[in-house]
Structure 1
Amino acid sequence: MSLHRRPFRVRPMSAVLAAMAFVALSACSPGDSEARVDPPPTPPAEVAGLCAALHGELPETVAGLARTRTEPESALTAAWGGSAIVLRCGIPKPPAMADPKQEGVNVNGVAWLLEKLDNGDFRFTTGLRRAYTEVLVDKEHATDAGMLVGLSTAVAKAVPEGVSSY
């Protein structure tokens, strides 16, 4: 089987809960009214179109955090709670996708690569979709495993299954 078609092992949602259980729970929400989010390099037109469709499907709240304006504004980016949760669509294929030992989760039919970053934050990246989308979550908000539910619903609706050409 090609690693490009099955880039990582998908685990049930309980794996997300287990991975996030050790992160300290925080009920605070950031007070930022906008988030600085650098859009990814300009993706091919097909990918940019899928990202624009996703942008229109994204929820107004994620993990109880309200949507935040991004600077610069872009159909390739979104944020919630200031920069607590940041989404970038149309990223190039992450190198970690080629690692068959990399862990992943499946939420509402969307496969996500799961990476814990050195600073304690988490990065989730969609796989087996026509456009790669990454979601960075700060360690204070990574305890809400339900945050991927709304995002997965939007991804499933706007970005078809398949292999990204980018």
Structure 2
Amino acid sequence: MNFFRHRPFGLSALAASVIATAGCSSADDAPSAAVPRPGAAVVKLCDRLDRVLPTKVDKLGRRDPEPASPLTAGWGGDPAIILRCGVPRPAKMADPEADGVEVNGVGWLLEQQADASFRFTTTLRKAYVEVTIPAKRTGDGMAPLVSLAPAIKEAVPEGIAD
């Protein structure tokens, strides 16, 4: 993965999100997210991360997805920015041509989705943290990742996730 390849970020080139992961419930318009199932060591890191996550990301208030879990968090409404901690290692990380970016000391794999959203997954951390930014929320570029970087650096140590 090349972390030195930079792309212009108006976030049309940065909309990596998973609609399947960050959709909306038809019943109450609450965001939803699949809850990861990592091992005990990663769950501890994710619990720690949940306690230090910001109340606002890109000026959006925290509104966690359903089902409630310390492994998931959300900001905003329709559509929400969704964070999932303890996700499996993305297959794309094995691709030496994969796009990566570093934001305030946190490395991210960048994957644009078919729906123009973006999915970012942390690299070189003891747990994989995935952030999905819906296409409608990509106008502010890397602002969500800037907001999340301090918490990730504090809670998830550098290293290789198991």
Structure 1 unaligned regions, length at least 5: 1-7, 25-29
* Equivalent residue for 2:146, pick from 138, 143, 149: 149
Detail structure 1 runs of 4+ shifted over 2 Å in the superposition: 21-24
Which residue pairs with 1:5 in the alignment? none
**C-alpha contact 2:85 2:130 (8 A) present in aligned 1:** yes
Which residue pairs with 1:27 in the alignment? none
What is the Cα deviation at residue 143 of structure 1?
A: 2.0
d(CA) in 2 for partners of 1:141, 1:149: 14
Which residue pairs with 1:3 in the alignment? none
What's the RMSD between the two structures over aligned residues?
Answer: 2.2
What is the Cα deviation at residue 131 of structure 1?
A: 0.1
* Equivalent residue for 1:94, pick from 90, 104, 110: 90
TM-score by length of 1: 0.82
Percent identity, please: 44
TM-score by length of 2: 0.84
d(CA) in 2 for partners of 1:138, 1:11: 24
- How many equivalent pairs are there? 149
SS in 2 for 1:70: coil
d(CA) in 1 for partners of 2:160, 2:43: 15
d(CA) in 2 for partners of 1:22, 1:44: 33
After superposition, the Cα gap between the structure-2 partners of 1:143 and 1:53, relative to the gap in structure 1 and judged at 3 Å, is same
d(CA) in 2 for partners of 1:155, 1:16: 24
**C-alpha contact 2:73 2:82 (8 A) present in aligned 1:** yes
Give the AA of the match of 2:7.
Answer: A
**Higher share in strand:** 1
Which residue pairs with 1:9 in the alignment? 2
What is the Cα deviation at residue 23 of structure 1?
A: 7.8
After superposition, the Cα gap between the structure-2 partners of 1:22 and 1:67, relative to the gap in structure 1 and judged at 3 Å, is same
**Is residue 75 from structure 1 mapped to residue 70 from structure 2 by the alignment?**
yes
After superposition, the Cα gap between the structure-2 partners of 1:39 and 1:22, relative to the gap in structure 1 and judged at 3 Å, is closer
Structure 2 unaligned regions, length at least 5: 16-23
Which residue pairs with 1:104 in the alignment? 100
**C-alpha contact 1:16 1:105 (8 A) present in aligned 2:** no
SS in 2 for 1:114: strand
Q: How does 1:14-163 map to 2 (within 5 A)?
A: 15=7, 17=9, 20-21=11-12, 34-40=30-36, 42-82=37-77, 83-144=79-140, 145-163=142-160
After superposition, the Cα gap between the structure-2 partners of 1:57 and 1:33, relative to the gap in structure 1 and judged at 3 Å, is farther
d(CA) in 1 for partners of 2:44, 2:7: 32
